[in-house]
Structure 1
Amino acid sequence: MTTKSLSIPLDFPFPSPKAHPLLTLHSKIQFPCKFPLFSLPQRIQFLRNQCPPKCQNPNDNNNPVPYTSQQEAHFTETQEAISQFLQEFGISAAESNSIALNSPKYAKMLFDSVKDLEEWTSWKSGGDGNEFATLGFKEKVAYMAKEKGDNGKVAFLESLGLSLSSSMNVARYLHGESLPNLIHKVKYMKEILFSDSDDKRLVGKYARCMMMNLSIPIDEDLQQTLSLFEKVEARRGGLDMLGSSEVTFRCLVESFPRILLLPLDLHLKPMVEFLDSVGVPKEHMREIFLLFPPVIICDITGINRKVQALKKVWAFDKDFGKMLLKYPWILSTAIQKNYKEIVSFFHMEKVDKSSVDTAIRSWPHILGCSTSKLEVMVEQLAKLGIRNKKLGQVISKSPQLLLRKPQEFLQVVLFLEDLGFDRETVGQVASRCPEIFAASIEKTLKKKIEFLDRIGVSKDHLPRVIKKYPELLVSDVNRTILPRMKYLKDVGLSKKDIAFMVRRFSPLLGYSIEEVLRPKYEFLVNTMKKPVEDVVGYPRYFSYSLEKKIMPRFWVLKGRNIECSLKDMLAKNDEEFAADFMGF
């Protein structure tokens, strides 16, 4: 297709990026971002319905103005002209057709521009301007597309889901970028950023968690990231769609148009290789890019400098990729600054830095929490007697406890006190199993109490049972407790026997079947020749080391033909055992 060089009067009001006819259309006229999968005649009708003549009243739905066959032909020719225009830049016919069909507002803009110019040339007498009238309609559309000066980028960007105005704004950044290179780059980025996996909603879940625990002044990178989240949240499906290319890519390009300027071979691919070198699997890199997009733009040398500094501070190397996946914001300047403040705060509380670093590696969301907010929870723990070294042990075991709301923490304290614990014992439970105070009362703690009641542990026995083994309140019933109870039943113990054993020694339900229960049961029955019922009276038998205590003492007693109970054999210390059974 050829186009003539025309001399058009400069005073004619052509549509421009700042002022084009589309911006003045009636508010009820809406255009979809994508064409449905219609046949070609249906697509023509679809486009035509979206572009009513300027003389038609948008409110007049009962008497729509009919379109002539010539207008229908012009709509078809508009799309064909756009497709042919794009092919001049080396784009395949199939891809060009797809872009043309998925850029209806761009097509409408060119269509209106041609119509406006035709109207002008129809009354303009004389001059070179009438030369425009000698062109065919497709040539006029191609001419107007060329005059826009974006070389097809606006159509392509609209086909990605951007609005026409956003497409024109972003295209200004891409003046020196060729259309084929841009298309290739976008395909690569979509491949990295979006997968076909079923965990797309998880990225949005991570984003919510990170935002919920952010309470410090933020830098520009975090501000831009939060702005992106806000744009995605405003779309249908909200942040759950952060992992979806249909929603997120357009928002990403609008928020960070510079990403389309990044050279593929000199920046994007080396960035992927760098993340792989620090332990981030390629299939999970999208989580880092989507949760902290400034990483894509940042200079690799600068990112590497930050990574090496973090490795040195936290004294770990091989797990850094996992850390980065948990919390990509650790590369933010504001987050790194807050780390120093957190370490200083806990130093004042006489907590070792190693405990702080262990807590952060386990739950890096702490890095987004202000020290004033951390101080509130530290004060609550201090009221239970948890200070200094104990505080370090608690935050190492359950760092998410630091991000707990004070009122939620106090509710767990009151819950335990209602079970019969005094405040001192509550503190002991918190030191032993702080995970309890990060658990839900309704979803976890109450259900465990109900379960214990069903297996025969009444409310009167709860304080003793929980104090000895508080982990029971946060153990998984189906995966840990029930299988162990089933094993004990299988070896011949009744439900009543098991309940009695739990009341006397609740850690029983915390022992591994393969590593503890089975080998000690088999030694009891097969080697010691004792009935399984013996463990009912002394369930603590399962707590002793088989190799270091049970077997040596059994062989000593057997060598002297001494019969005794499990309690007499194991409860005594070494001196007492030697005095009673060995004559020392």
Structure 2
Amino acid sequence: MTTKSLSIPLDFPFPSPKAHPLPTLHPKIQFPCKFPLFSLPQRIQFLRNQCPPKCQNHNDNNNPVPYTSQQEAHFTETQEAISQFLQEFGISAAESNSIALNSPKYAKMLFDSVKDLEEWTSWKSGGDGNEFATLGFKEKVAYMAKEKGDNGKVAFLESLGLSLSSSMNVARYLHGESLPNLIHKVKYMKEILFSDSDDKRLVGKYARCMMMNLSIPIDEDLQQTLSLFEKVEARRGGLDMLGSSEVTFRCLVESFPRILLLPLDLHLKPMVEFLESIGVPKEHMREIFLLFPPVIICDITGISRKVQALKKVTFHVWAFDKDFGKMLLKYPWILSTAIQKNYKEIVSFFHTEKVDKSSVDTAIRSWPHILGCSTSKLEVMVEQLAELGIRNKKLGQVISKSPQLLLRKPQEFLQVVLFLEDLGFDRETVGQVASRCPEIFAASIEKTLKKKIEFLDRIGVSKDHLPRVIKKYPELLVSDVNRTILPRMKYLKDVGLSKKDIAFMVRRFSPLLGYSIDEVLRPKYEFLVNTMKKPVEDVVGYPRYFSYSLEKKIMPRFWVLKGRNIECSLKDMLAKNDEEFAADFMGF
């Protein structure tokens, strides 16, 4: 992705964190005579733990040097001075207090600087009185804070969770940014990135999935994104915490400090509005920004050009902005230059395999992670499918139905093939099953397929009947037992069928358990018993009854038979084609 160039200031108005030149006290510098006091006794012990005096031996844990009451008072005064200093920039007392309490390393730096300057001025003056020595301790802290030249931004950045060194480095980017504007900008970004999150772990899950399926050379934007993921992964909780403000925001700022330079009204808000205009809901904006942060920095015009280019080459699939927005949510990396370049490679590869481009685009729309996969890796899976007789047009149909199959490991795919062969299928039939329901080959053998076989056995479909049942309706192996199959079985039992009846019906017509209760089973059952006046047991002998259209076939033929006062079985009524039915029952 080509991002807008942002210059980095070189003439920094405050010293490097590695250099601490001794300041010269200007006689005209005015200090407030008194600082308003606020009680912080509950924070004294915390600051003591964070900021031990230089004379303390950190290795002597058994005999720590005790703190004097004067040192405790100075620690408290340091925080009070920082808070007062921040208020000079227009920050509220409550907010400045919070920043002061959450920037202990910054407080220690000022505390140490004051002590160093006191020692230096004392040595230089030979013990005589001097101007610096006449100042109160908080006035000295305020003086040192001003001398640092960052105007409170280092303290604020540390309060966000950044280390002191990172805070000072990032603050160099922000020399022209006022503290109130910076605070307002950070609040806005946190609201976009971390609010309205029901499950913060989902973002980390998406990131892992994207990384697992990445096998192409990457560009700088993707490299920076992966570096951010590595930083988050190194934290407690790992990548699962990518959606957590406490962990991720500081890593984000450290990896992409330029985001704090972006103008709120001229860039950040327009970027959010643009993404909303192409179908990304505001409540899901966080997923785009956290999974691909360079989007935040990128020029809106540049992103718009990439979006329009993708729509142009795949117009018949992504005809509407909302469709593109959904795909962008699934795979934000599609805006990467490397990913867009690989799209052309993938289309070219499948063209040589005689797969229609519309099938390729449908697969990408459904599972855009394919775009991160190299053509050499795709070729391995295409060869596996070819061994089952799935080529050309059939290959296009398979990847349209189950694009995840292209990202399957060859050995895992082969294990499913062997699993089906162990059930009694020959290689040709396995290919037919793959064409009909390719989702089976993307499923886990242990977690899905074996459990479905065990379930079918429990309901009365023995191993001898499995090949026929699965061949007729392979979708049974990937159907949700608790949400679909069991409720449908319960309904059939409730209308008077036994478990044995249902098992017999499934063995004869396995798609039975694939029908919706409200759309198929209930209306056809009610018409059978209420209008046709037939017992429910009639469907046991002919379960295919549920496969016919109620409006187009069952009802018209029933009314013809009723008008002629003809009684016949469900099979005789429905199994015949129109010509046979007319000849047998209408005298044509």
TM-score (norm 1): 0.92
Q: Which of 528, 535, 546 is residue 532 of structure 2 equivalent to?
A: 528
Aligned to 1:484: 488
Q: CA deviation at 1:315?
A: 3.9
- Distance in 2, matches of 1:467 and 1:452, equals 14
Offset of residue 114 of structure 1? 1.0
Aligned mates of 2:318, 2:38 — CA distance in 1: 57
2:279 touches 2:325 (CA, 8 Å); kept in 1? yes
The answer on whether the counterparts of 2:12 and 2:175 sit within 8 Å (CA) in structure 1 is no
Shift of 1:67: 2.2
**Counterpart secondary structure, 1:128:** coil
Identity across aligned pairs (percent)? Answer: 98
**Preserved CA contact (<8 Å) 2:448 2:477:** yes
Give distance in 2, aligned partners of 1:413 and 1:133: 85
Deviates more, 1:227-236 or 1:124-133: 124-133
Q: Secondary structure at the match of 1:198?
A: coil
Gaps of 5+ in 1: none
Q: CA deviation at 1:460?
A: 0.3
Assess, with a 3 A threshold, how the Cα gap between structure 1 residues 118 and 350 changes in structure 2: closer, same or farther.
Answer: same
**Which residue does the alignment assign to 2:501?**
497
Match of 1:21, SS state, is coil
**Contact 1:20–1:109 under 8 Å retained in 2:** no
Q: Could you list the per-position Cα deviations for residues 308-345 of structure 1 after superposition, in whole angstroms to 9, with x for gaps in the alignment? A: 11222844433111111111111111111111111111
Query: C-alpha distance in 1, partners of 2:377/2:566?
Result: 63
Does the 8 Å contact 2:200/2:244 carry over to 1? yes
1:26, distance to aligned residue in structure 2 (A): 34
Number of residue-to-residue matches in the alignment: 584
> How has the CA–CA distance of structure 1 residues 282 and 314 changed in structure 2, closer, same or farther, with 3 Å as cutoff?
closer
Deviates more, 1:565-574 or 1:373-382: 565-574
Structure 2 CA distance for aligned equivalents of residues 2 and 338 of structure 1: 17
Could you list the structure 1 runs, at least 4 aligned residues long, displaced by more than 6 angstroms after superposition: 1-15, 21-39, 126-129
Greater relative contact order, per chain length (Cα 8 Å cut-off, separation 6+): 2
Give the C-alpha shift of residue 221 in structure 1.
0.7
Q: Tell me the TM-score normalized by structure 2.
A: 0.92
For residues 364 and 42 of structure 2, what CA distance do their matches in structure 1 show? 58
Quote the offset at 1:21 in angstroms: 12
The match for 1:155 is: 155
- Superposed CA RMSD in Å reads 7.2
Deviations 1:224-276 (A, max 9, x none): 11100000000000111111110000000000000000001111111111111
Q: What secondary structure is seen at the aligned counterpart in 1 of 2:61?
A: coil
**For the residues of structure 2 that align with 1:458 and 1:24, how far apart are their CA atoms?**
92
User: Which stretch shifts more, 526-535 or 503-512?
Assistant: 526-535
Check 1:338–1:13 CA distance in 2 against 1; reply closer, same or farther (3 A cut): closer
Partner of 2:354 in structure 1?
Answer: 350
**Relative to structure 2, which stretch is displaced further, 312-321 or 37-46?**
37-46
Contact kept? 1:34, 1:161, Cα under 8 Å: no
Shift of 1:16: 4.6
Q: Which one is further off, 233-242 or 509-518?
A: 509-518
Secondary structure, in 3 states, of the residue corresponding to 1:542?
Answer: helix
- Equivalence for 1:36: 36
After superposition, the Cα gap between the structure-2 partners of 1:42 and 1:388, relative to the gap in structure 1 and judged at 3 Å, is same
User: How far does residue 492 in structure 1 lie from its aligned partner after superposition?
Assistant: 1.5
Indicate whether 1:558 and 2:567 are aligned. no
- Measured after TM superposition, the shift of residue 364 of structure 1 is 0.7
1:524 shift after superposition = 2.1
SS of residue in 1 equivalent to 2:465 = helix
Pair 1:130–1:173, CA change in 2 (3 A): same
Cα pair 2:12 2:172 within 8 Å, conserved: no
- Tell me if the contact between 1:439 and 1:445 (Cα under 8 Å) persists in the aligned partners: yes
| CA 128–508 in structure 1, closer or farther in 2 if over 3 Å, else same | same
Q: 1:344-379: CA deviations, max 9, x gaps?
A: 111111111111111111111111111111111111
Alignment partners' CA distance in 2, 1:8 and 1:302? 22
Say if 1:20 and 1:470 are closer, same or farther in 2 by CA, change over 3 A.
Answer: farther
Residue by residue over 1:142-179, the C-alpha shift from the partner in whole angstroms, topping out at 9 and shown as x without a partner, is 11111111111111100110000000000000010011
In the aligned structure 1, how far is the partner of 2:27 from the partner of 2:148? Answer: 25
Q: Secondary structure at the match of 2:243?
A: coil
Give the CA deviation at 1:493: 1.3
Pick closer, same or farther for the CA change 1:580–1:304 going to 2, 3 Å. Answer: same
Give the gaps of 5 or more residues in structure 2. Answer: none
CA distance 1:24–1:345, shift in 2 (3 Å)? farther
Q: Distance in 2 between matches of 1:33 and 1:206?
A: 56
- Tell me which moved more, 97-106 or 526-535: 526-535
- Contact 1:83 1:97 (8 Å CA) reproduced: yes
CA contact (8 A) 1:154 1:164 kept: yes
Question: Retained in 1: the 8 A contact 2:122–2:128?
Answer: no
Q: 1:32 to 1:220 in 2, by over 3 A?
A: farther
Report if the CA contact (8 A) 2:413-2:441 is conserved: yes
